[in-house]
Structure 1
Amino acid sequence: MKNRILFSLAIFSMLIAYFIGVSVGKQGISYALDVTQGELAFNHLKRYRVIKEDLESGCLEEALEKLSFYVDEQMMLLAEYVQHHKVEAINSYIAKRDDTLLGQLKSYEIDWKKEWVEKKCQEI
């Protein structure tokens, strides 16, 4: 009888420890996702503001060049996921929202060594 009680307490303790661990793990993942989303939103906002300023100053060429660079950068990032990581959830997400993009990404050239010098807008 005593062994059964000790065994039950041990199992109960392990279950409590497991559920506490799962809860703490979820909080850590949630925090990391929040930080990542916040950083992405901030960086995109910064880029959009620079392009908006260029357009408002009449610097169409500079704005288009920045947009081209940013699009290429995002294409390479997505192409890397499609070509190397092969995460089906990402492929499905892309295919559902843009029926031609997934095909483009499968053959997109990934070259992270590309250099680009950002041209500053010279107000007209």
Structure 2
Amino acid sequence: MAVSARRGPYFCGIDAAMDVVAGKWKSLILWELHHHGTRRFAELRRGLPGVSEKMLVQHLREMEEDGLAHREVYREVPPKVEYSLTEHGISLNAALAPLGSWGTERIRRIGADKVSVDDDATVRR
């Protein structure tokens, strides 16, 4: 497993954790892979409305480098590539779960709209 080139010094554990999940899309990619399992690139893109191809590629590469995501390339025509969470990614997702619960409560408390994504990646507001 590759280890990130980003290495402290860190002020505290939150600093080190935020270094790994920095960026709008990484925690959402973690969520998508956790809830839907192994996904191909196009499936991830459909499940994350608003992410650009460039940002998704960049974040997936960084997540692979940080040992959070695994990229499996199948030697077939056309080429097939799938992404899944590693044990490290699964543990980070579990650590983020209370933050997600806090955010859900915040949505309710402030009366904000919540976007819902169906299993077939249809966005509903």
Task: Say which structure is richer in strand.
Answer: 2
TM-score by length of 2: 0.23
Task: Say which structure is richer in helix.
Answer: 1
TM-score by length of 1: 0.24
